[in-house]
Structure 1
Amino acid sequence: MTQPLDSRTREQLLTHARSQNAWLPRPVSDEALRELYELAKWGPTSMNCSPMRVTFVRSTDARTRLLSAVSPGNVEKVRTAPVVAIVAHDTAFYEQLPKLFPHRPNAGDLFRDRPALADQTCLRNSSLQGGYFIIAVRMLGLDCGPLSGFDAGLVNSLFFEGTSLRVNFLCCLGYGDPAGLFPRSPRFDFEEACVIV
């Protein structure tokens, strides 16, 4: 049975965590990236479809390619982050359903001839997994800065040409420099965002 988390854990995962804009020159190991995925993969998705795929950009060559696709306001964030994750989704996710949803081996047939349903399912569930990914980053004591400011077509061309992968968002990873933070932006109160019916 799940139990409520203590206040310190809640702070680290959500209430005091921040999207980072600047980074300390401290590396992130391959082992940490592996552990990050191993945590994030357990979050639920519909039919266990698990469409998220992650490309961790660290090399100079890969970073140079990625920088050519990001908006000017994000260049410094991407240039200085120890790692940038290209959080993508596999548009042919349904081909893996016999492995991931074995009690219904023909589940992929629901999507093969229904591209709109496949696209919606893929994007929705890779976005869910992207949220789990961010929580896992924070669980490991790392910081992150998710980004939307980039040319998706160019990222797909540079990194996923000839594959069924498509970018969802970018996420800088590392150890944030507190000097790069600005005052926290407000959030809606419950009454502004929610209704109980």
Structure 2
Amino acid sequence: MTAIAPEGVLALAEDAQDLLFREARTANTFSGEPVTDEQLRAIYELVKWAPTAMNAQPLRIVAVRGAAAKERLVPLMAEGNRPKTTAAPVALIAAADEDFHEHMPSIWHRPEARENLAANPGRAGMARFNATIQLGYLILGIRAAGLAAGPMAGFDAAAVEREFLGGEGLRAIAIVNAGKPGPDAWFDRNRRLDFEQVVTTL
């Protein structure tokens, strides 16, 4: 049974809670309805406001939609993920830009940030951590557009980086299929851990 917060506890309307969380599912099949450039832009323009450390925003996205591009991507997926990626209207390669610091002068208020981060040996880890946080925002943004998101880690990351990400500094962290669900899109829903199993209050 799904726990519903008492009225007034959450500021988000209940139908929005359902859209983003309770009723949202990972689709395993997709309809033929396309995901448009306008939808992708609207998703990004929403989720770009979510926080990252130092406003770093290291997530980079390659939208793979055309048949020729899909033919390059699908063989790089784990075998069980290939049919879903083939059927999805768009597959989003989510990558962490290890050279995110180059943008710091335009997105952060301390002018020395670029130089400090350039010399920081932890910059790659910072990029991956914050891009992964942004990946979560991206999934919610896709759901906010009325689409299903299917994030996957089952792919040859090094091959995807060579084939799609070009130069150095971009590291693939996930591929997210997105689109309208097709027939028999859902597995049976698995249970979630209860509050008492997860939260400890001191």
C-alpha offsets along residues 116-155 of structure 1, whole Å, 9 cap, x if unaligned?
Answer: x112211111111111111111111111111111010110
Q: Which residue of 2 aligns with 1:17?
A: 24
Structure 2 unmatched runs, 5+: 1-9
Query: Which runs of structure 2 are paired with 1:52-71 in the superposition (5 Å)?
Result: 52-71=59-78
Structure 1 segments of 4 or more deviating over 6 A? none
Structure 1 unmatched runs, 5+: none
2:87 to 74, 80, 90: 80
Matched, 1:187 2:192: yes
Q: Is the 8 A contact 1:21 1:145 kept in 2?
A: yes
Deviation for aligned residue 1:51: 0.4
Query: Which runs of structure 2 are paired with 1:1-197 in the superposition (5 Å)?
Result: 4-101=11-108, 103-115=109-121, 117-197=122-202
SS of corresponding position for 1:127: helix
Equivalent residue letter for 1:152: A
Cα distance in 1 for residues equivalent to 2:130 and 2:200: 24
Deviation for aligned residue 1:110: 2.9
Q: Which residue of 1 aligns with 2:5?
A: none
Closer/same/farther in 2, CA of residues 91 and 7 from structure 1, 3 Å limit: same
Deviation for aligned residue 1:54: 0.6
Deviation for aligned residue 1:178: 4.9
Equivalent residue letter for 2:44: Y
C-alpha offsets along residues 7-48 of structure 1, whole Å, 9 cap, x if unaligned?
Answer: 111000011100111001111111111111111111111110
Cα distance in 1 for residues equivalent to 2:23 and 2:156: 30
My pick for the range that moved more, 10-19 or 179-188, is 179-188
Cα distance in 1 for residues equivalent to 2:198 and 2:63: 34
- State the TM-score, normalizing by the size of structure 2: 0.92
Count of paired positions:
193
Q: Is the 8 A contact 1:20 1:180 kept in 2?
A: yes
Cα distance in 2 for residues equivalent to 1:104 and 1:56: 32
Q: Percentage identity across aligned positions?
A: 37
